[in-house]
Amino acid sequence: MSVNLLESLLSRGFFPKELPPVFTTRSLGSCIHELPIKYNIKPSKSITFSIPKQKHYRRILHVPHPFHQILLSIEIAKEWEQIYAFCTKSTLTFSYPKVDLSGKRAIDRAYSFQEVMEERLRSSIISKIALFTDISRFYSTIYTHVIPWALHTKELGKKKRRDKKLLGNRLDIGVRNTQEGQTLGIPIGPDTSLVMAELIGCAIDMRLQDKIANIRGLRYVDDFYLFFDTMGEAEQALTTIRETLAYYELDLNAHKTKVFHLPERLYESWKVELDLFKISSKKAEEQRVDFFNLFHKAYELYQKYQNPAIMKYALKKSIPDQLHLENWELYESWLLRIWMDVSNTYPLIVDLFNYYQRKKMPIDQKRITRVLSRSIQECLQYQHDFELVWALWLCKCLNLTLPEQLGQGLSMITNPFVVLLALDLSHLGLLKGLTKERWEQQLTNGWSENDWLLQYEGVQKGWLQGRIEHPFFQHLAKHHVQFYDPMSPFNQVTMASFRSLGYDH
């Protein structure tokens, strides 16, 4: 077994990257070899966490029960060489899993989006026709029994469905245990699911390699970019892709499928337009005008394309080498305006406030509190987990006190990530009016595997009255494992980290 990989999967590859840094599994990974795991815990539901995607559309992320996530991670770490060898048989994949022991995540995709763009250009230079398509709702429609089909062929997988000597069957069981035994879909968020998706994606690739002669192009996650000499070849290939996906119980996304004559546009036109703008650091007045020009164009493009990536990219472009003090109030106004309009930008805006707080900019706490109070009130109506979590995290970062009526509204929330931040703010005196009866009643009713995060952390931190009853979680407590670290640093954002932000397509 790869010891480092197992620790990394549990330390940095467990919780979704879309959560604030106060939610952590570092301590779980660091003590994994001291934890007994011979418990009989039934397959459990994952905790869900909704994030904004496009306008009026949200994606559901999942946080599995730690016991079942540990078992699945052990299986992947133990068999990593076999998994990696299988994935690298594909000549099409540009997203096969790569261990990254020094990065933010345990496992990353082998190539960046920029490298995918470059490969699309290289692969297409002798072709006249392009075929682009993707798999419809890939993660959420994967049939978990397809995992052994991918690794061992469909015929063998069906014949030896209960044979635990087959790695595919063990992975299938491991994934199902993280989602209450369900066979439809895999959890979105943990790095282990990236591995499962690539096993299936690479099996699809290899089947296409056998059926389409001299195939040119690549696959990145669930997107296929293929190139041909004639329209007829592309149409035939499309039929082959559709049949191959059906073989693995998947569907082609008809809305994103297109066959067209080259050349192609590699970048979205809005990125090219925004790249023309640069924020001056020389004179304060020039900088003010640059801010207006950049954000005016960004809003114009956002209204045209309705793509949140536009505003995230504009924020990245807006960061000057030196922000003039007299321009801070204007820049803060833009950050707050974008906060109210495009919730996908929250993590980046939080990082910007943390960065400029450390730079001693005169942050207007009263104004920010008004904006956050308004946005929290709106998000409470729709139970928007992502927006509430990041708004409360910014309150903690900037030491903002929220009005009492928000405490009353937050008392009705059930999502444990939101509740834990609310409890923390209440403990710090930054949130009045929060009542705990609803959550403590859950503990009175007995330990629930589906409410493990709130019950474990609420009791551990002394924010809720109750006892940790399950021996597995008692062992976690004994080893000082925490999933919510109230002392998590929030001022470590650097200019280098902003510069490294890529193009979010």
Q: What is the pLDDT of residue 363?
A: 98
* 198 or 53, greater pLDDT: 198
List, for residues 423-432, the tens digit of each pLDDT value. Answer: 999 999 999 9
Helix (H, G, I), strand (E, B) or coil at 116: helix
List, for residues 450-497, the tens digit of each pLDDT value. Answer: 789 999 999 999 999 988 888 999 999 999 999 999 998 765 666 666
DSSP H helical ranges for 79-190:
80-87, 113-124, 138-141, 146-152, 154-159, 167-177
Q: What is the pLDDT of residue 36?
A: 84
List, for residues 320-371, the tens digit of each pLDDT value. Answer: 999 999 999 999 999 999 999 999 999 999 999 999 999 999 999 999 999 9
Distance between CA atoms of residues 196 and 148, nearest Å: 10
Q: What is the mean predicted confidence (pLDDT) over 245-252?
A: 98
List, for residues 99-157, the tens digit of each pLDDT value. Answer: 987 788 999 999 999 999 999 999 999 999 999 999 999 999 999 999 999 999 999 99
DSSP states of 213-247: TT-EEEEETTEEEEEESSHHHHHHHHHHHHHHHHH
List, for residues 2-37, the tens digit of each pLDDT value. Answer: 669 999 999 999 999 999 999 999 999 999 999 988
List, for residues 381-409, the tens digit of each pLDDT value. Answer: 999 999 999 999 999 999 999 999 999 99
Q: What is the pLDDT of residue 2?
A: 65
> In what side-by-side order are the strands of the sheet with 216-220?
216-220, 223-228, 129-134, 258-261
352: enclosing H helix or E strand: helix 346-358
Distances (CA, A) of 303 to 211, 447, 463: 43, 48, 44
Distance between CA atoms of residues 290 and 318, nearest Å: 9
The confidence band for 83, taking pLDDT boundaries of 50, 70 and 90, is very high
Q: What is the pLDDT of residue 54?
A: 81
263 alpha carbon, distance to own chain's centre? 32
Closest-CA residue to 488 (of 421, 441, 388): 421
DSSP state of 23: B
With a cut of 80, say whether residue 65 has pLDDT above it: yes
Q: What is the pLDDT of residue 102?
A: 78
* 40 or 402, greater pLDDT: 402
Q: What is the pLDDT of residue 469?
A: 83
Whole-number average pLDDT of the chain: 94
**Beta-carbon-side half-sphere exposure of residue 170 (alpha carbons within 13 Å):** 14
With a cut of 80, say whether residue 174 has pLDDT above it: yes
Distance between CA atoms of residues 66 and 74, nearest Å: 12
With a cut of 60, say whether residue 501 has pLDDT above it: no
List, for residues 414-449, the tens digit of each pLDDT value. Answer: 999 999 999 999 999 999 999 999 999 888 877 677
Distances (CA, A) of 14 to 78, 191, 324: 17, 6, 40
Q: What is the pLDDT of residue 450?
A: 77
The pLDDT > 70 percentage for the chain reads: 96
- Which pairing describes strands 258-261 and 129-134: parallel, antiparallel, or unpaired? antiparallel
Helix (H, G, I), strand (E, B) or coil at 49: strand
The confidence band for 503, taking pLDDT boundaries of 50, 70 and 90, is low
Q: What is the mean predicted confidence (pLDDT) over 221-249?
A: 98
What phi, psi does 293 have (nearest 5°)? -65, -45
With a cut of 80, say whether residue 505 has pLDDT above it: no
61: enclosing H helix or E strand: strand 58-63
Side chain identity, residue 310: I
The confidence band for 162, taking pLDDT boundaries of 50, 70 and 90, is very high
Q: What is the pLDDT of residue 95?
A: 97
Distance between CA atoms of residues 472 and 207, nearest Å: 43
Q: Which two tokens stand for residue 266?
A: 């590699």
Q: What is the pLDDT of residue 496?
A: 66
With a cut of 60, say whether residue 1 has pLDDT above it: no
List, for residues 43-64, the tens digit of each pLDDT value. Answer: 999 999 999 998 778 999 999 9
